[in-house]
Amino acid sequence: MRAILAFPGTLDTPTGGYAYDRAVLKALPGQGVAIAPLALPPAFPFADPADLDTTARHLRAAPPDSVLLIDGLALGVLPADMLRALEQPVVALIHHPLAREAGLSDGQKARFAASERAALSACAGVIATSPATGRDLTAHYDVAPHRLTIAEPGVAPAPRAAADGDPPRLLAVGSVIPRKNYAGLVEALAQARDLRWQLTIIGGLGFAPDTVAEVRARIARHQLGDRVTLHGAVAPEALEAAYAACDLFVHPSLYEGYGMVLADALRRGLPMICTTGGAAGETVPDGAALKVPPGDTAALAAALRSLLAAPAERRRLADAAALAGRALPTWDDTAARIAAALRAVRHAVTA
Show pLDDT as tens, one digit a residue, over the chain (351 residues). Answer: 999 999 999 999 999 999 999 999 999 999 999 999 999 999 999 999 999 999 999 999 999 999 999 999 999 999 999 999 999 999 999 999 999 999 999 999 999 999 999 999 999 999 999 999 999 999 999 999 999 999 999 999 999 999 999 999 999 999 999 999 999 999 999 999 999 999 999 999 999 999 999 999 999 999 999 999 999 999 999 999 999 999 999 999 999 999 999 999 999 999 999 999 999 999 999 999 999 999 999 999 999 999 999 999 999 999 999 999 999 999 999 999 999 999 999 999 887
Same domain, 77 and 146: yes
**Which residues lie below 8 Å from residue 75, measured CB to CB, with a gap of 6+?**
83, 90, 92, 93, 94, 116, 119, 120, 123
Range of the domain at 39: 2-154+330-350
What does 87-124 look like in DSSP terms, one character per residue? Answer: SS-EEEEESS-GGG-TT--HHHHHHHHHHHHHHHHT-S
Same domain, 177 and 212: yes
Which pTM does this prediction carry?
0.93
Phi then psi for 6, rounded to 5 degrees?
A: -100, 135
The number of folded domains in the chain is 2
Same domain, 284 and 239: yes
Same domain, 37 and 79: yes
Same domain, 284 and 344: no
In a domain, 163, yes or no: no
What pLDDT shows up at residue 351? Answer: 72
CATH number at residue 28: 3.40.50.2000
Same domain, 201 and 149: no
